A and B are shown apart, each in its own frame.
Chain A
Amino acid sequence: MAAPLVLVLVVAVTVRAALFRSSLAEFISERVEVVSPLSSWKRVVEGLSLLDLGVSPYSGAVFHETPLIIYLFHFLIDYAELVFMITDALTAIALYFAIQDFNKVVFKKQKLLLELDQYAPDVAELIRTPMEMRYIPLKVALLQCFPQCYFSCLSDIPVSVPTHLVCPRTPLSPPAAVHTCENEEQSLLDLFLGVCHDVCGKPSGNHLPLLLPSQLLGFHPRSLWLYINVFFYTIPLAIKLKEHPIFFMFIQIAVIAIFKSYPTVGDVALYMAFFPVWNHLYRFLRNIFVLTCIIIVCSLLFPVLWHLWIYAGSANSNFFYAITLTFNVGQILLISDYFYAFLRREYYLTHGLYLTAKDGTEAMLVLK
């Protein structure tokens, strides 16, 4: 499977290079859906120039990255475009191999449970075969490369890096820990996330002030109740999904993307890249049509309402933030739909696909 992956990477790099040099670059780098105060390249450049002048980059209220980023880009500022492309390519490759490993694990587990006769007799159509799982890693790599390259590469640091740096890392360690306990071989995804976790926690130099939580955007006491959502779901999900760490990680990343203080298109694209891994759940999704419509409509309305607010002077921020809220509601419903589909499939696997009630009629599963 190396050749298609290489092809995907080559095409992605070409598209990025072309976009970087086109006139679209400036246009996209100013769009608010793509660039946020947490992930803006202009702010990184500002922080670096402040550092060069000997002033602390955190003294103004502009720079909000971790000290590690400053040091990293201090040496790489001239090769920024290349760094972005390489990081994105590495992420795609890492995801590719990680998902490949995961598929092998899933298949092995499935075989084990089949032999142990844990599955109900009529669930043959729910069992996953190697044939259908063959192209999943490639699709994941594809989905990771392309939406990101259209938006994130031009305006901000590759999302994979700051998402794991700036967002709370703690919710991601339970899934990583559970996964490690289950398998003797260390999966690449695990390693990747773990490395990020370690590297970011390291203190980075004595002459820079410690990055206090109050200096991070959004950690205002009043908004604590919103951001506590990010941590809230970790423990209940860990208890429920203790046998399915990768699905847990997917839900956790999605929850982080939804409740993050300044979400951008890159965050959404990150968890949406994982959809091919769960495409066997498609038949159990109930509201996928409505939700796709909601998400597409909101995405189209973002630039229209931004234009009306800022340029036409007629709408105001309420319209724009209403659409943001609707988009978030759509995302939340999407994630809960996937969760429901997952649980339902597990139920069917152990209890049989065609359920009958006590009097012989067809039964329906209702989520209470």
Chain B
Amino acid sequence: MGLLSDPVRRRALARLVLRLNAPLCVLSYVAGIAWFLALVFPPLTQRTYMSENAMGSTMVEEQFAGGDRARAFARDFAAHRKKSGALPVAWLERTMRSVGLEVYTQSFSRKLPFPDETHERYMVSGTNVYGILRAPRAASTESLVLTVPCGSDSTNSQAVGLLLALAAHFRGQIYWAKDIVFLVTEHDLLGTEAWLEAYHDVNVTGMQSSPLQGRAGAIQAAVALELSSDVVTSLDVAVEGLNGQLPNLDLLNLFQTFCQKGGLLCTLQGKLQPEDWTSLDGPLQGLQTLLLMVLRQASGRPHGSHGLFLRYRVEALTLRGINSFRQYKYDLVAVGKALEGMFRKLNHLLERLHQSFFLYLLPGLSRFVSIGLYMPAVGFLLLGVGLASLVAPLLISQAMGLALYVLPVLGQHVATQHFPVAEAEAVVLTLLAIYAAGLALPHNTHRVVSTQAPDRGWMALKLVALIYLALQLGCIALTNFSLGFLLATTMVPTAALAKPHGPRTLYAALLVLTSPAATLLGSLFLWRELQEAPLSLAEGWQLFLAALAQGVLEHHTYGALLFPLLSLGLYPCWLLFWNVLFWK
């Protein structure tokens, strides 16, 4: 208790911290960014390795040869799909039964809070079809899932064909110790969410679905497949899930093992893996991949059906077949063999995957950065905030945040009656309107706040706002590192700089440029830039509006947390800094 009780030492320490405050803040911010950039270089990034013993030592000989059968099924499926316009449930049931599975269906329906313009749906209803391959001599306590999401806009027929051919091949083997569920969902992610909720007997998103007639035990792992062509040039793997959750790294290691074994070309974030990590090129490419992963994880969207499985603690991946302009092409047999190998290895699991990392960043498919090495980056950024913090502005800002969260969806009908806009546009425009209205606040809050001690008032408010910001970013970084890091990078410097004196217009411009909405806009441009498909300003703005609508929709359909975090947490905090800036 020496430091806390000795007044002499306290005063000395306080004086030291005050004198070095500004340099320390700047230094810690720079250290945070530098640490993040250094994550792609060899000491901080390590080679991946298989941690689970049960999946390590046994090498299997793949025997899948049903390429023709898969193509035939795919063509049948596409034909029936075109004829019926929706998922051909009867055909699927018949085919699955002929292959030898126990077939069940599940119907679901959902009315979205406002029409989804990207997928063009509003009242959604559909049917999921799934077949269970029972393990010959096991007790049906554990299962694996192979799922193919079929939306109205995605043509996944080759994936369905491969699924059925694999089912036929698996049915003839005797070594299965876990049940395998072959799931075909309609309306891609909505169907998957309905199936998962019914399987685990919960109702977190307000979906109405019929209860499942057949179950197969606790799901140990799942693979989602998306294939739209007969031949592929590469397989892309997606790991980021809902709210930035990631599967166990061992599942990715498993996929990478089979890619190497079968000589398949595998990509992460659509980019090839650099072989050479010693020169500068490899790490630079790794930095691109890392930034893409950070942006995707920060968005909190489920980038594929696997993202929804993660919430139930089921490790899952999505594999996408890409058909681009490369010379060497792989057919469905190669993909089928990789899947067969993965499932045979997963069959050997004795426990759920838990040995490897759950929180990591990937600069490449065979390189990873673990949480112990990337957390200091966000720690340094937040240290600046901690060093460098009233009721009425607080309440008003929080009330604005609440309005931003609640009003757009509630008010969409009123808006469509009075203005000539569609519902989705109404929601997005209301969001932007409330956001901009917050900028006009400071001129009005001064009538409410007393002018007792004008100078001390803004310092107290800034203190509270800084602590609030640090707390929120800290809590966010613990659950979704990428989102926390991204927001900290943009919001911390301008938050620390906000004060009523000095060049007010410059500070105001900086503060607006680093507000949460502007960060979203900036990261969209950065993301497309990294994917080598840069956007023009108009396209970027359209994408931004679409992203806003998707964000609100995903919060209501899957429970994604980005929208509530930004509107109820970070936007009020940012408004407090805006208030500090315009303090009279």
Contacts and interface: CB of A to CB of B under 8 A. Distances in A.
B5 to A, nearest CB: 5
Contacts of A305: 478
A364 B7 contact: yes
B354 A308 contact: no
Nearest to A310: B313
A304 B475 contact: yes
12 contacts: A286-B4, A287-B4, A297-B474, A301-B474, A304-B479, A311-B313, A312-B245, A313-B354, A314-B358, A333-B4, A364-B8, A366-B6
B7 A300 contact: no
A307 B480 CA distance: 12
B24 interface: no
A314 B475 contact: no
Given A304-B479, A305-B478, A313-B313, A296 B4 contact: no
Interface in A338-368: 340, 364, 366-367
Nearest to A297: B471
B7 A366 contact: yes
Contacts of A311: 311, 313
A296 B245 CA distance: 26
Contacts of B359: 314
A293 interface: yes
A228 B243 CA distance: 45
Contacts of B510: none
Contacts of A364: 7-8
A47 to B, nearest CB: 28
Interface string B248-281: 0000000000000000000000000000000000
A102 B82 CA distance: 83
Interface in A52-94: none
A117 B115 CA distance: 80
A171 to B, nearest CB: 24
A296 B359 CA distance: 26
- Pairs A-B, 5 closest by C-beta atoms: A314-B358, A304-B475, A367-B5, A364-B7, A304-B478
A300 B467 contact: no
Contacts of B4: 286-287, 333
**Residue from A287, A300, A313 with most neighbouring chain B CB atoms (10 Å):** A313
Nearest to B10: A286
Contacts of A367: 5
Contacts of B245: 312
Contacts of A287: 4
B5 A300 contact: no
Contact of A300 (B354, B471, B479): B471
Nearest to B357: A314
Contacts of B7: 364, 366
Contact of A301 (B5, B8, B313, B475): B475
A312 B471 contact: no
A80 B358 CA distance: 44
Contacts of B467: 293, 296
A312 B354 CA distance: 11
Nearest to A291: B4
Contacts of B475: 300-301, 304
Contacts of A296: 467, 471
Contacts of A314: 358-359
Interface string A290-331: 000100110011001101100111100000000000000000
A340 B4 CA distance: 12
Contacts of A300: 471, 475
A364 B9 CA distance: 13
Interface in B433-482: 467, 471, 474-475, 478-479
B6 A312 contact: no
Which among B354, B467, B474, B478 has the greatest number of chain A C-beta atoms within 10 A?
Answer: B478
Given A304-B478, A364-B7, 14 more contacts: A286-B5, A296-B471, A297-B471, A301-B475, A301-B478, A308-B478, A308-B479, A311-B311, A311-B313, A312-B479, A313-B354, A313-B358, A314-B359, A364-B8
Contacts of A297: 471, 474
Contacts of B478: 301, 304-305, 308
A312 B358 contact: yes
B461 to A, nearest CB: 15
Interface in B354-381: 354, 358-359
A361 to B, nearest CB: 14
Interface in B1-58: 4-8
B371 to A, nearest CB: 8
Interface string A246-287: 000000000000000000000000000000000000000011
Interface string B222-256: 00000000000000000000000100000000000
Contact of B479 (A307, A313, A340, A366): A307
Tell which of B5, B6, B359 has the most Cβ of chain A within 10 Å.
B5
Contacts of A312: 245, 358, 479
A314 B249 CA distance: 12
B402 to A, nearest CB: 16
B389 to A, nearest CB: 9
Nearest to B472: A300
A284 to B, nearest CB: 12
Contacts of B6: 366
A311 B314 CA distance: 11
Nearest to B352: A313
Contacts of B479: 304, 307-308, 312
A304 B467 CA distance: 17
Contacts of B354: 313
Nearest to B478: A304
A367 B313 CA distance: 53
A286 B478 CA distance: 31
B42 to A, nearest CB: 25
A366 B5 contact: yes
